[in-house]
Amino acid sequence: MTAAHLAWVALDGLCWLLAAAWLVQAWLVVRGMPLLPDLTKIAGGLPKLEPGDGPDVTVAVPACNEEATIEATLRSLLASEGVRLQVIAVDDRSTDATGTRMDKLAAEWQGGMHTLEVMHIRELPQGWLGKPHAMVMAAERAQAPWILFTDGDVLFAPRALELALRQAEAVRADHLILVPTLILKSVGERAMLAAMQVLSQWTIRLWRVANPKTRDFIGVGGFNLIRREAYEKVGGFAALRMEVLDDLRLGWKVKRAGMRQHVALGPGLVRIRWIEGALAVVRLTEKNGFAVYRYRVGLALLAAAGLALHAVLPLAALVAGGWTALAGVLTYAAIAAVYEGNRRLTLVSAWHAALFAPAVAVVTYAFLRSTALTLARGGVKWRGTLYPLRELRRDAGRGW
């Protein structure tokens, strides 16, 4: 048997192996994703909130140089209905008008069901990343039994927090994620979101997060709703002071501690303009791409190779022709089925699967770039501050 023939046999085998894996994944996603509750459709069946003496939820809103979005975020929170909020806006060393806009809104606010407090952080203590420190500062002032950690560029529908809290109480959750709806304006943005979602499902199956027997967990920076006692039990963000992936790591700690974690959908309830243009993913993953692999170079390179295979092998199968081409067709059919299974979450149609390969190529480049820049700089540079790689690795832990 010649070397060329061996290479052909190996290619054929890999293509069929990948096709089989994607077919199984499609079956799991199509069966699993419908199990996630949609709060916009089950609102009538959720229990009413019990009246209390103080706020129902403390909302921590850290913001660094978010002058373009912070006022809209805070106004959307203060327009919330059916729930009483203690909103704590934290100006985290902003060099723009973020703090000024917070103060102006606080001075105008007339109260009612909600309160608005503003904190200004001028200096970052040694051994801290900015966002975890800002969230710790806000959490220390929390008066409600629940804390929502969010971001300064998120928009909330009037009933978003009410429905989320009612769902959390109904399922007796300790930690609830209401998956944000991303505001997408182009085909490229939709293609990137859909591809990143299907790739993430190889490691995190959202429909299994609530199962205490699984390792699946989740945390989302735009909407981490957690019982205050659960937050304190896992050490809060003080235990994540040098954690770049603070939102995801919080979810990991909650699940690892054996507490109840749930995921809910609600198209339009929580909205965020996360990416502006398909290539924006490259910049957005600069800070946290290497952190996903806990700053281990070998693991990052192995993952990049795996991503590249997902992009290249199906196309190679189609080009090869014969029975190998059938493997490529089945792979793309399965990927399209996964896209369709995720449609309630992403609002992206299955035909975007045709752009899967270039989208995965961009993701692969973004993660490799994050790894290379972090190593070259000796740390993660974000918002003008360099966080040393030595300290990041020390506090990161070995895995998930």
Q: Do 124 and 267 share a domain, yes or no?
A: yes
Same domain, 114 and 251: yes
Confidence at residue 71, expressed as pLDDT on a 0 to 100 scale: 97
Domain count within the chain: 2
- For the stretch 12-50, pLDDT in tens is 789 999 999 999 999 999 999 999 999 999 988 888 888
Q: Which domain holds residue 133?
A: 39-183+205-272
Determine the average pLDDT of the residues in 382-390: 85
pLDDT in tens, 162-192: 999 999 999 999 999 999 999 999 999 999 9
d(CA 266, CA 158) in angstroms, rounded, equals 13
For the chain, percent of residues with pLDDT exceeding 70: 98
pLDDT at 302: 96
Do residues 316 and 15 lie in contact, with contact meaning Cβ atoms separated by under 8 Å?
yes
Q: Report if residue 266 sits inside a domain.
A: yes
* Mean pLDDT over each residue of the chain, to the nearest integer: 93
State the pTM of this model. 0.93
Amino acid 3: pLDDT: 63
More confident of the two residues 63 and 396: 63
Contacts of 387 (CB under 8 A, 6+ apart): 129, 242, 244, 379, 380, 381
392 domain residue, yes or no: no
- Residues 67 and 17 both lie in one domain: no
Banded pLDDT at 8 (limits 50, 70, 90) = low
pLDDT at residue 397 greater than cutoff 80: no
Q: What is the CATH number of the domain that holds 66?
A: 3.90.550.10
Shared domain check, 285 and 256: no
Tokens read off for 341: 């299974």
Q: What is the pLDDT of residues 214-268, one digit of tens each?
A: 999 999 999 999 999 999 999 999 999 999 999 999 999 999 999 999 999 999 9
Q: pLDDT for 275-296, tens place per residue? A: 888 888 888 899 899 999 999 9
User: What is the identity of the amino acid at 141?
Assistant: R
Give dist(CA 180, CA 182) in Å, integer. Answer: 6
Q: How many beta carbons lie within 10 A of that of residue 306, not counting itself? A: 12
Are the CB atoms for 168 and 259 separated by under 8 Å? no
